[in-house]
Structure 1
Amino acid sequence: IDKSTFDLSVKNPDGGEEITHRSPADIMKEIAELDAESAKILKSIKALL
């Protein structure tokens, strides 16, 4: 047995990729930015009517 390649670590072959989660503050910041952008677009649409 080759000790340099012998690996007994636990791995789930069906586990998929590891997911990293964003912080709630980052999520809220993005929501606020998207909301402001949506409001700006809605305002320009209303101006056309």
Structure 2
Amino acid sequence: MIKYSDKLYKKVRSAGAAGITLGIISIVVGLTVGILSITFGGSMLNTTKELID
């Protein structure tokens, strides 16, 4: 049986927490960029309609 040391356990735990944190941050940033691009794309479509007429 493998005995885990406290240092190893703390390093693995902090690496896992950092991975989860980075994953949540990337999801939030991705959603924000997606929403902003849809919003600005819609406003650009309305602007092109005014330019063509």
* TM-score, normalised via structure 1 length: 0.56
Detail structure 1 runs of 4+ shifted over 6 Å in the superposition. none
Query: Over aligned residues, Cα RMSD in angstroms?
Result: 0.9
| Alignment partner, residue 12 of structure 2 | 30
| Alignment partner, residue 44 of structure 1 | 26
Q: Specify which structure has the higher proportion of helix.
A: 2
- Give, in whole Å, the separation in 1 of the partners of 2:30 and 2:15: 23
- Give, in whole Å, the separation in 2 of the partners of 1:21 and 1:46: 38
Work out the number of aligned pairs and report it.
31
Q: Gapped runs of 5+ residues in structure 1? A: 1-18
Q: Deviations over 1:1-49 (max 9, x none)?
A: xxxxxxxxxxxxxxxxxx1111011000000011111100000111123
- Structure (1 or 2) with the larger CA radius of gyration: 1
Identity %: 19
Q: Gapped runs of 5+ residues in structure 2? A: 32-53
